[in-house]
Structure 1
């Protein structure tokens, strides 16, 4: 486990509800941490590698926000189970969670006219299969306590047909509908579920950095400010009146 800052436990916790950022990166994950931390939430930040964790903690500390960091592959169910057990032991129950481990890796995008069954199903497995593991890990405790918030990042091609994204679009649609149906299922149990539907490339993130090196791609998809998305997520968490916010990068 990697959760040290060289500070004592009192200095890295804010005494508020705990937000687990499952898939933290320099873009949206950190914006979520900054916004919720500024609102008094304790923070547990999880990413596959611990290499950036000192810089994440330092960035938050500059804003007077404490945090703990953990290394785990949140797409792997055993690793997810392990890290959430560590988080609970160190920081208590998770009151809210963001799951959005965006990556430049993953199944190749295949144009739909060229896609066979395996090419079509590979992105579905990559995007949809991790979601029920997150739900099974977090929802029972939230239901027992009668409150909680789950945010999931889903692709805008699941809402608006995007031919350039080929086989990624049906997978995004499946993930989005899973989240929205889950929201209707859990609403009466005190658990608020929301989709942040991302129809563009998030600034400061790894995907943005990768696409910026290829002329024209950012112009094709548009760029989104992660601070705006995090602000909308905070409003969803506070108001609990909607289950989706769509961000269009066009």
Structure 2
């Protein structure tokens, strides 16, 4: 049965887990392998892991670390960061990752992305759009950890993703990242109305109620969160957490 997905989102820098606020002020969280083991025990729907340095520093993916994480993972795994070629994407999938998340490559070499879609299949290729409101209150896409603005309309980019054959889009709100103040529901509504592609939303979740609101409004989407699943209280003490089956059944009735 098709159902919504509740997805922990983890950021890797220098082989360690970090958490940011508005893509800045990073805080060390712990070891990604340990976090993966804990999420296994909690039987999460899916997990996404982003190496936030790889593309910015023009590094290739850390295949050794990816392999270690994939070996630990008993859940669907999506990886993004530093993937610049079909060969790299193929190698990551062969290590046990289910989906490749792309960001800057989509804007730098669409031909390579199209080749990945043809070779690996749409279901294996995800586009991550990091989105921020500009001074005109319009949504703008950024790459390289929010440092480079893309001079193209968000909805034109979404249409191009559809034409390219991308299988899923992750919409990540820079404005809400790490704030735990709730999702940008206006952004989610605009994006949902703009495409029929599978969507996942990230940025701002502060409670299970925030996740419930997204699923109630938009149905079978991916609802991702970082801080909500690595902090245990308002003081941001580190504790890996995830809703139990009972909590999910009670909140979302699936």
TM-score past 0.5 threshold: no
Normalized per residue, the structure richer in strand is 2
Name which one, 1 or 2, has greater alpha-carbon Rg. 1
Normalized per residue, the structure richer in helix is 1
